[in-house]
Structure 1
Amino acid sequence: MRRSLFAALAAGCALAHAAPDQRITLCFERQEVQPWRTLDGGGLNFELLAEVARRTGVTFDYQSMPWKRCLEQLKSNQVGGAFAVSHNRERKSLGAYPGAGGAAGDAQADPSKRMHTDSYLLVRRKGSRLDWNGKSFLNLDGRIGFQLGYSVGDFLRAQGVAVDEGSQRSDELARKLIAGRLAGAAMGGGDATRLLRGPLGARLEIAPVPLIEKPYYLVLSHAFMASRPQLAARLWDAVEEVRTSPAYRKRERERMQLGGGY
């Protein structure tokens, strides 16, 4: 009996020591992007991650912060990961994306392991002649704005257009646009939809053709990947399993039908 009790206590101590290894701090942008996330922990991203946590036995601790700071903390291994991160060549140095082994040097992230897909849209003043035909901008006279640290900046620069990266929030971009300081703004689909439904929406409109569509990922720090590669693989596999599950797909369709985003 005493031996059983000691064995149980030892097992409990082992679990207590192991538990911190199963806690992962994730940062995310301090901005609501419907239908994916809200600042109080709502939205499809958090629903997906909650089920990932349940399936893998981890606990996610969330920290909201300005997006550029979140990416800097990811790169410096101050957090275990960040979520809703799109992929580009420069961002490979920030952390590990799901891919061929999840290594930072992989040429491409694996889109089957994405959390979701969203579009960047061209927002313009109502009545503006500015447009995007899927290949180039038309009637562009001025700068295209985007939020600080957002990957759409690489896309805009590749088009050879003048850009403004001086805004932290989408509503700042909208006010610059309305004031005539920008010709247009490149915004995520959820942000653009939210703004058009708000008090600024009467003076704005969205160009018909999306600028670009991107997958968004759970990205893990290099330190996490180096120390727990098997857990990293389990997390990314679980993201795919949850995202493609009938229950989650039904929930996603319901949110989209409610007009939660593109």
Structure 2
Amino acid sequence: MHYLFLILVMFLNPIAAHASSIKTIKLAYSDIESFPFQMGNGTSVAKPPGLSIDILEHAATTLNVNIEYIRLPGKRVLHHMKANQVDGGFIFSYNQKRAKYADYPVKDGQVDSTLRIATLDYFFYKLKEQEVKWDGTKLESVGNRPVGAHNGFSIINKLKKNEISTLEMESTDQLFAMLKKRRIAAVAIQSNIADSYIKENELSNIEKITPPISTKYYYLIFSHKFTKENPELVQKMWKAIGKIRDEIIARNMKTYLSESN
């Protein structure tokens, strides 16, 4: 009996050791929705949670890592990271002030945008037959009609600074319906939302106007302490994100479009 007990202990020990070796990363993000990358408002993780969490969960699974999510007001996310109360946070664009206490993926001394978790770029979309011109600062359109945009999205402030009149709407369906009726000159919208919507609805008479209105890359960032203690894991997380990001966004975007319509 004693011999059998020893064999059982030897058999179970590797399993127990493997289970205890699973790393848990504590990540914080804003308690305010940022469609489609962070969904819902408040302290709980929404269902569906947002594309950024879809990407993080897939990356974590490939690395056999668990993630504990904490939602906080934006400034407190950064405060918690500086105080090492969380291991990292998302989604954040690069700036030098944050880089003093947070690590970004870097290559050749520059932030490596290929390892970003999200791109938020906004473009104007118009009907092909409509006369609309955009030079990066000034928008010219026949009839001086307003531009449609999602209610509450950050691009509204950019348009107002450029003295472009806007008409805010709740859904992507409403925006493109108004464009079809020629009630608006163009739609100012995130390209990942618009491109997926146009493809899904086979809207062959709509085209994207270049240059973009704005473009920013956003990242998963880690505290200096966590990076120092887990350098290999940090690099693997960033690389996993870069590898699977576009696939996850293409696959899951439809879910979020249906939520907004």
* 2:57 aligned with 1:84: no
Q: What secondary structure is seen at the aligned counterpart in 2 of 1:33?
A: coil
Measured after TM superposition, the shift of residue 3 of structure 1 is 2.5
Aligned to 1:108: 110
The CA deviation string for residues 182-209 of structure 1, in whole angstroms up to 9 with x for no partner, is x9479xxxxx99x6317xx9xxx98797
What amino acid sits opposite 1:238 in the alignment?
A
Is the aligned partner of 1:196 residue 2:169? yes
Question: How has the CA–CA distance of structure 1 residues 241 and 223 changed in structure 2, closer, same or farther, with 3 Å as cutoff?
Answer: same
Deviations 1:134-160 (A, max 9, x none): 3699xxxxxxxxxxxxxxxxxxxxxxx
Q: CA deviation at 1:108?
A: 2.3
Deviation at 1:53, TM superposition (A): 1.4
- Taking the aligned partners of 2:241 and 2:231, their CA distance within structure 1 comes to 15
Give the letter aligned to residue 37 of structure 1. Answer: Q
2:29 is paired with a residue whose SS is strand
CA contact (8 A) 1:116 1:215 kept: yes
Q: Find the counterpart in structure 2 of residue 53 from structure 1.
A: 60
TM (normalized to structure 1)? Answer: 0.60
Q: Which residue of 1 aligns with 2:37?
A: 36
SS in 2 for 1:134: coil
Equivalent residue, structure 2, for 1:250: 250
TM-score (norm 2): 0.61
Distance 2:86 2:243 in 1: 24
Contact 1:115–1:243 under 8 Å retained in 2? yes
2:35 counterpart SS class: coil
Q: Deviations over 1:104-140 (max 9, x none)?
A: xx8421111011100379xxxxxxxxxx953699xxx
| Residue 72 (structure 2) pairs with residue 65 (structure 1) | yes
Q: Does 1:221 align with 2:223?
A: yes
- Asked whether the equivalents of residues 72 and 94 of structure 1 are also in contact (C-alpha less than 8 Å), the reply is no
Give the drift of 1:240: 1.1
Correspondences of 1:1-262 after superposition (within 5 Å): 1-19=4-22, 22-39=23-40, 40-41=46-47, 42-100=49-107, 107-119=109-121, 134=136, 184=160, 196-197=169-170, 211-245=213-247, 248-251=248-251, 254=254
CA RMSD of aligned residues (A): 4.1
Offset, 1:18: 2.6
Q: Which amino acid aligns with 1:35?
A: P
Higher share of residues assigned strand:
2
Q: Give the 4+ runs in structure 1 shifted more than 6 A.
A: 205-209
Size of the alignment, in residue pairs? 197
User: How far is 1:79 from its partner?
Assistant: 0.6
Output the CA distance in 2 between the equivalents of 1:13 and 1:249.
Answer: 35
Check whether the contact 2:27–2:69 (CA below 8 A) recurs between aligned residues. yes
2:145 corresponding residue in structure 1: none
Q: Percent identity at matched positions?
A: 27
**Cα deviation, residue 212, structure 1:** 2.7
Distance in 2 of aligned mates of 1:136 and 1:71:
36
Deviation of 1:2 after TM superposition, in Å, equals 2.5
Q: Secondary structure at the match of 1:78?
A: coil
Partners of 1:35 and 1:255 within 8 A in 2: no
Give the secondary-structure state (helix, strand or coil) at the position aligned to 1:117: strand
> Would you say the 8 A contact 1:173–1:185 is kept in 2?
no
Rg bigger for which structure? 2
1:235 CA displacement: 0.6
Unaligned runs of 5+ in 1: 101-105, 122-131, 138-169, 178-182, 187-191
Q: Secondary structure at the match of 1:26?
A: strand
Letter in 2 for 1:233: Q
| Amino acid of the structure 2 residue aligned with 1:32 | E
Unaligned stretches of 5+ residues in structure 2: 41-45, 124-133, 140-150, 176-185, 189-208
Going from structure 1 to structure 2, the CA distance change for 1:69 and 1:185 (only over 3 Å counts) comes to: farther
